[in-house]
Amino acid sequence: MFSLVFNQEPNFVFSVVLVLAAISMLSGVLGAASQYEFRRILAFHSVSQVGYMLMGFAVSMLALAAGNRETATLALAGTIYFMFHHAIVKMNLFLISGIVLKLRGTTHLKKLGGLFSADAPLSTLFFVTSMALAGIPILSGFWAKLALVKAGLAAGQYLVIGVSLFVSVLTLFSMVKIWAEAFWKEAPRRRAGSARLRLRHGGWV
């Protein structure tokens, strides 16, 4: 749409989009890494994941402008798949954070703990979806990112692909931080006694 309105050289336009994609990925993931509030971490990662979508779209358009239709198709297909993956995974993660807020009255990681011992199925759901967000094989995020990385390398966009891989590592760090603080560590003493009962009654509503 930008190129239709401003009608510049496609290589210039979509190179700018690639830069914006890298900025979006980095700013989102660095913001998430600095947070200790469950939902804020997820929100910052939404900014980061939009960067992946921009990257895939820009790579597709640059490859198309260069006459490489196979790479353009791979990048566009990867972007569309990434959009569906992200919508499903992020919806699940926000729903889990809402359950945690309802049951514990907070989503601050330093005030949480003991969720795995209180409700293993809920914790397992978080673990699987968070690892999918980070792109761990063999989950949905891995295949989406693999398609984008392969297309980016085929198009010669090595720098932005390097940024995307670095961002994936930091995404994994954020998800492990949530897991360790909210689910794996022991519950705060004042909450430990009632945690199991509250989760059993409300966790799957």
**21-65 pLDDT per residue, tens:** 999 999 999 999 999 999 999 999 999 999 999 999 999 999 998
Tell me the pTM: 0.84
Express each pLDDT in 177-193 by its tens digit.
999 999 998 877 765 44
CA angle 56, 57, 63 (to 5 degrees): 90
- Residue 112, Cβ density class (10 Å: 0-12 exposed, 13-18 middle, ≥19 buried): buried
Total domain count, the chain: 1
- Residue 89: domain span: 2-202
